[in-house]
Amino acid sequence: MNIYDVSQKAGVSIATVSRVLNGNPNVSETTRQKVLSVMREIGYTPNVFARGLGLNTMHTIGIMCADSSDPFLANAVYYLEQNLRKNGYDSFLCCTGYDLVNKQKYLQLLLSKRVDAVILVGSSFIEATKKDNAYLLEAAETIPVMIINGYISHPNIFCTLCDDYQAVYDVTNQLAEQGRKDILYLYTSRSYSGLQKLSGYKSGIQTNNLPLREEMMLSCPNDIASTRDMLIEVYDKGLRFDAVVASEDQLAVAAMKFAKQKNLSVPDELSIVGYNNSILSSCTDPEITSIDNHVETLSITTISTLMRVLEGNDVPNKTTISNDIIIRETTNF
């Protein structure tokens, strides 16, 4: 018996049950009585949400991220922890790796430490099948589950996303409008956010009536030198391109190294756009135009949503933030 059962049986949202438990006045007396009677009927003890009342709470939030050495994830974790501290919460971070079994184990561990909520950072937490996401839905029955850059529609799961589709669409469109005809797309991951970016690229190509060619969408190794070598190889085999859109800044750095090797001038013969607006984009010469996914805003929004959830407010399950193109020297934008 859990809060989800109560909400189902009473025919109200989980947020409403939470409001009743928290003594929030924005609940009608009729609803309040209905919820309380269902609780008595099914024998539900509100031990978890009682924490919202300051009873039994450790004021601790669990954060899960796949890989703390990924600069985007590391920055998100940094901003999350800073903002949690401002709100009087401590945080525990678990770096779970990419295996489902470890993700499940760590979530269980956090629940056993009685955290008030969990935040999953990065779309790698959304699995391909419903069955594999069951552990997240289960956790959401006892505590709020916040997801950054992934989306599951389910009660008590709250997602904050950046609009990766739109950002890649915009940049592809802009390159095409400037007359680039052979726009190469480089990516490493087929995560939720990876797929959003890829479909933004495809739409951008199609909107401009350019041919959508399989060989122009390259899955890359996860390091600069190997990606550079791969680009040299496909180029030597005859593939030609006048623009590169990369799903990560380091792939854009690899494209810069490729251009140098082949004596292509950037941006005139080859335009290059990176993603994440990380420190890498300002290391090269020329510096790389890159899409900023506003990791700080994403993190702050996640925490403010969480605080409203913990106070028992009704909060939308999905918040989307738009990205910006930070124009530097590798494009003629």
Q: How far is the CB of 274 from a copy of itself (least distance, A)?
A: 11
- Of 255 and 310, the one with the shorter C-beta distance to a copy of itself is 255
What percent helix, strand, coil does the chain show, rounded to 5?
45, 15, 35
Q: How far is the CB of 278 from a copy of itself (least distance, A)?
A: 10
Q: With beta carbons less than 8 A apart as the criterion, state whether 293 and 276 touch.
A: yes
Q: How far is the CB of 69 from a copy of itself (least distance, A)?
A: 4
Q: How far is the CB of 256 from a copy of itself (least distance, A)?
A: 8
Beta strands 289-292 and 183-187: pairing type?
Answer: unpaired
Q: How far is the CB of 101 from a copy of itself (least distance, A)?
A: 11
- Of 69 and 153, the one with the shorter C-beta distance to a copy of itself is 69
- Of 20 and 186, the one with the shorter C-beta distance to a copy of itself is 186
Q: How far is the CB of 282 from a copy of itself (least distance, A)?
A: 6
CA distances from residue 332 to 44, 219, 266, 316 in whole angstroms, order as listed: 62, 26, 10, 39
Q: With beta carbons less than 8 A apart as the criterion, state whether 273 and 214 touch.
A: no
- Of 74 and 315, the one with the shorter C-beta distance to a copy of itself is 74
Give the footprint of a copy of itself on this chain (CB under 8 A).
Answer: 60, 67-69, 71, 74-75, 77-78, 81-82, 85, 90-95, 97, 102, 105-106, 109, 113, 224-225, 250, 253, 256-257, 260, 279-280, 282-285
How far is Cα 333 from Cα 331, in angstroms, rounded to an integer? 5
How far is Cα 177 from Cα 200, in angstroms, rounded to an integer? 16
- Of 85 and 181, the one with the shorter C-beta distance to a copy of itself is 85
Burial call 101-115: b when 16+ CB within 10 Å, e when fewer: eebbebbeebbeebb
- Of 113 and 213, the one with the shorter C-beta distance to a copy of itself is 113
Burial call 275-305: b when 16+ CB within 10 Å, e when fewer: bbbbebbeebeebbbbbbbbbeebbbbbbeb
